C-alpha cells in the first residue's frame, strides 16, 4: 500500500511546520527577555540600574504579588509618599517595588518570592533612610526621634529600621520628630482587589 500526498497537502504541511517553528522561536526569545534564574532576572532594559538586587523590568509579575501601606510623618505632619516611585519616567520599566499613585500603597510585584524591606523601597525611591536620618532630616537626640510602627506596634529602637520586612497588608509608619500617639495608624483599609 502506498500513501500519496497532493502538492497542496505538502505545501500546507510545509507552511504549518515553518509557521509553528517560527512562532516557537519568537516565543522563546520573548520569554528569555524576562526569564528568571534564582534571584537574577534578565530584563529587556539593561541600562537601568539594579537596586538592592531588584531589577527594573518591562512588565509587572504575579509570582509574588502583595501590597502594603506606608505613612510618613515629619514633625507631626503627614509627608506624602509620591506616585510613580520605582516607575521609569520614560515608561520603559518598573521596579518590583513601586507606587502607582500618592495613596502610600506600596505594590510588590516580583518574579521571585523573597522578603523585601522598607529599606529596599526607599532605596528605589532614591532617598536617604537609616536609624539616624529620614530624607534630609537628621536625628538630633535632644529634639527629634526617628521611630517606626508596623500595624500600630512600635518597632524596637535597637532594630535596624532599614531591615524591617514588608508583609502583605502591613500598615507601616515612619515617624520623624514628635507625634501624638493617637495619630499613629494601626491599619489601612485596602480595596477589595488589593
pLDDT at residue 8 is higher than 70: no
pLDDT at residue 153 is higher than 90: yes
138, β-bridge pairs: 133
CB contact set of 25 (below 8 Å; sequence gap of 6+)? none
Residue 130's pLDDT is what? Answer: 75
Q: pTM for the full model?
A: 0.73
- Reported as a single tens digit per residue, the pLDDT across 40-50 is 444 445 567 89
Report which of residues 11 and 178 the model is more confident about.
178
The DSSP code for 158 is T
pLDDT at residue 141 is higher than 90: no
pLDDT at residue 101 is higher than 90: yes
CA angle at 143 for the pair 183 and 80, rounded to the nearest 5°: 40
Q: What average pLDDT does range 88-116 have in this prediction?
A: 95
Residue 10 binned pLDDT confidence (cut-offs 50, 70, 90): low
Q: What is the DSSP string of 36-94?
A: EETTEE--S-TTSPPBTTB-EESS---SEEEEEEEEEEETTEEE---TTTTB-TTSS-E
Amino acid at each position: 500500500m502506498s500513501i500519496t500526498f497532493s502538492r497542496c497537502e505538502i505545501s500546507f504541511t510545509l507552511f504549518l511546520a515553518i509557521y509553528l517553528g517560527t512562532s516557537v522561536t519568537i516565543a522563546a526569545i520573548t520569554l528569555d527577555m524576562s526569564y528568571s534564574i534564582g534571584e537574577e532576572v534578565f530584563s529587556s532594559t539593561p541600562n537601568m540600574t539594579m537596586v538592592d538586587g531588584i531589577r527594573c523590568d518591562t512588565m509587572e509579575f504575579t509570582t509574588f504579588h502583595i501590597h502594603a501601606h506606608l505613612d510618613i510623618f515629619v514633625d507631626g505632619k503627614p509627608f506624602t509618599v509620591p506616585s510613580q516611585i520605582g516607575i521609569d519616567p520614560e515608561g520603559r520599566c518598573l521596579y518590583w517595588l513601586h507606587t502607582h499613585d500618592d495613596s502610600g500603597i506600596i505594590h510588590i510585584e516580583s518574579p521571585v518570592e523573597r522578603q523585601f524591606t522598607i529599606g529596599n523601597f526607599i532605596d528605589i525611591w532614591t532617598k536617604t533612610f537609616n536609624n539616624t536620618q529620614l530624607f534630609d532630616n537628621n536625628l538630633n537626640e535632644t529634639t527629634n526621634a526617628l521611630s517606626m510602627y508596623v500595624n500600630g506596634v512600635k518597632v524596637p529602637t535597637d532594630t535596624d529600621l532599614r531591615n524591617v520586612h514588608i508583609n502583605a497588608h502591613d500598615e507601616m509608619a515612619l515617624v520623624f520628630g514628635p507625634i501624638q500617639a493617637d495619630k499613629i495608624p494601626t491599619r489601612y483599609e485596602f480595596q477589595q482587589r488589593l
